[in-house]
Amino acid sequence: MRPEILNPLFGETQSLKGVGKVLAKPLEKLRLTRVKDLLYHQPSYWMHRKRVDVLDEIDVGETIIIEVTPVDYRTGGPRSPLRVHATDKLGNYISLTFFGRNPGWPKKLLPLGERKVISGKLERYGDELQMVHPDQVLDPDQKNAIALLEPIYPLADGLGNARMRQLIEQSLALAPDLPEWIEPSQLATKSWKSWKHSVLALHSAESTDADDRLAYDEVFANQLAFMLVRANNRTKKGTPIQGDGRLRKQMALPFQLTNAQQRCIAEIEGDLAQSAPMLRLLQGDVGSGKTLVALMALLSAVEAGYQGAFLAPTEILARQHFNSLQKTLAGVPVNLAILTGRDKGKVREATLMGLMDGSIDILIGTHAIFQEHVRYKNLAVAVIDEQHKFGVSQRLMLTQKAERTPHLLAMTATPIPRTLTLSQYGEMDVSRIDELPPGRQSIDTSVISNSRISDVVDGLARHIAAGGQAYWVCPLIDESEKSDLAAAEDRAASLQARFGDQVGMVHGRMKGPEKDSVMDRFQRNEIKVLVATTVIEVGVDVPNASLMIIEAADRFGLAQLHQLRGRVGRGSVKSNCLLIRSDTLSETARARLTLMRETNDGFRIAEEDLRLRGAGELLGTRQSGDAGFRVASPAQVNDLIGPATDDARLLLDRDGGLDSERGQAARIALYLFERDWGVSLLRSG
């Protein structure tokens, strides 16, 4: 149960004064739904204002506070801005410019002849001084209400900075004095103040290193929770598995396993042989052969008389895995089955019966395979394709489907920097496939301006004429599937006008059978160009598809670009990736596209993605559901994870764990940052 001292911080923002349904919408858009979210809503920057008595050219570019008198209103027409001409006490002129369709509002704000104190950025427009949309307009007796130093917060439509400041001040008034969870010597070394002092400082001019202290708290809670999971896992009873190799020997693989694959298989076999259940992350680049390594673990379970389960993130990928594993296991006496949300009636019933009586050896499917009514006879190994961004609590939930805790192997096809692996999968051991199978070709990547899109379509025509197939991924407009779908539909229509029914489209709103039909036609080379949105995993394995076209590539993160590029280069034909960019590029976008052109190394791309994104989201998306950081930036995670991990280890190994005085404080930190699954495990264990 959450400590009572934290209850005010978990109150909804709608409980604050002045927050109704209208204001709740922009707050929700900013993910500010609770009081504690507002406490950690850090200013983007601080506005410095300068009080002046008279207008002066020397102050152009500065944000000033000055008393003026409006003397004239001017507008050039219905679409022109309203200009309020005003004078300072010496008669110097300034034009106060207002854009918008309601000229009455500035006139009401600045009546002619009435002195007003205004604040805003002083600019030059032609021969006159100008201030566009003053941020403050007050009566002279209120001039001291305008702060010389004001925090400016990230905002959303319908929520202004002054209102945001009021809400944060209400939240700060609810902040309790929390006991200290940081190890005393660490606190002294950094000269950090208390939690409450740091939260207050974050929103004041004395913020200095308060944000580092608060980021450290979150990283510390994260690492402590992972350590509790690992400790709890060592107390669980698993099923020691030692397969005899008979099924694996019957596999007719047309290639040799790489050294990296063999090493990872050995590490996994070592875990399976233990009575403590495995918790391992298998990390590898696109095409490195992770699925085959996972299959070896599943076959070990079957050889020892147990069942295995393979969870895929989407139905498309589940069916792809099912089909590819059937081919890989052709002639091997293993009973594979598939279960997704689409399977109904007698087919579903037969699958569920087969799981309960043990006649199904390996089940492949979506999250449906772990629903409450799905029962296994003796599940011993669960494999999770981590692309669906399962968080820690969900990963642990999947291990509760058997009498004895199953061994868990999570896979990720997104190479993750070592620091972030520790911060997102800290409860797991890590195996890393760091080489590609022999014969896997590198992919040539080119960047082209969208002004030459007709040349791209001409090149696509030549590619099709030569017998090739291609993916065309449409731009990421925003987080709305609807807008991404509209972009894909427009592109598909334009390509169909040129290539007819050789063009197909898949998107997240299509029904399962319709998706399957398009995918099947693409795999059978009936469809030459597959147009796709970005909201689905384009994970089909089509060796003949050797061209990937990504439209508006500068809007994508590096990891996403690398994942999409990995859909080609799977056959014997040389593959190409074409990145279509906007005419104007930011420096970060330019650096991303340059790196994509230079390298196919996913691990290098991942490290560079972290460096380029800075305080942005990790690798373009949150890598796991409840392991995302709200307070700590990636750069702070990188800097703080070492000392925070050591601090958490000291608490558990030297300072008495959660039962000690510092441990009780740390328990509060776990709940504050919603890592309380660590506490729950300790209690249930």
Quote the CA–CA distance of 357 and 216 in Å, as a whole number: 50
Which of the residue ranges 18-32, 84-98, 183-197, 616-630 would you say has the lowest mean pLDDT?
616-630
Quote the CA–CA distance of 306 and 243 in Å, as a whole number: 10
SS3 488: helix
The chain-wide mean pLDDT, for the chain, equals 87
The tokens of 130 are what? Answer: 């100008």
Q: What is the pLDDT of residue 615?
A: 33
Q: What is the pLDDT of residue 232?
A: 84
Kindly state the average pLDDT of the residues 372-385. Answer: 89
Q: How does residue 12 score in pLDDT terms, banded at 50, 70 and 90?
A: very high
Task: Please check whether residue 457 is in contact with residue 472, taking contact to mean a CB–CB distance below 8 angstroms.
Answer: no
**Strand 444-449 versus strand 576-581 pairing type:** parallel
pLDDT tens for 128-176 read 999 999 999 999 999 898 989 999 999 999 999 989 999 999 999 999 9
Q: What is the pLDDT of residue 522?
A: 92
Q: Which domains are assigned to the chain?
A: 1-41+162-174 (no CATH), 46-152 (2.40.50.140), 246-433 (3.40.50.300), 444-599 (3.40.50.300)
pLDDT tens for 572-588 read 788 999 999 988 888 88
Q: What is the pLDDT of residue 223?
A: 93
Q: Is a pLDDT exceeding 80 seen at residue 302? A: yes
pTM (predicted TM-score):
0.75
Q: Is a pLDDT exceeding 70 seen at residue 399? A: no
pLDDT tens for 420-453 read 777 777 888 899 898 877 767 779 999 999 999 9
Q: What is the pLDDT of residue 8?
A: 96
Q: What is the pLDDT of residue 345?
A: 84
Q: In terms of Cα–Cα distance, which of 539, 547, 532, 537 is closest to 489? A: 532
Quote the CA–CA distance of 454 and 419 in Å, as a whole number: 43
CA-to-CA separations, 38 to 164, 222, 622, in angstroms, rounded: 9, 20, 21
Task: Please check whether residue 44 is in contact with residue 152, taking contact to mean a CB–CB distance below 8 angstroms.
Answer: yes
Q: Is a pLDDT exceeding 70 seen at residue 393? A: no
Q: Is a pLDDT exceeding 70 seen at residue 653? A: yes
pLDDT tens for 66-122 read 999 999 999 877 778 999 999 999 999 999 999 876 778 899 999 999 999 999 999
Of residues 635 and 357, the one with the higher pLDDT is 357
The tokens of 286 are what? Answer: 């696109």
Rounded to 5°, angle at Cα 219 from 216 and 221: 105
Q: Is a pLDDT exceeding 80 seen at residue 478? A: no
Find where tokens 């580092």 sit.
212
SS3 48: strand
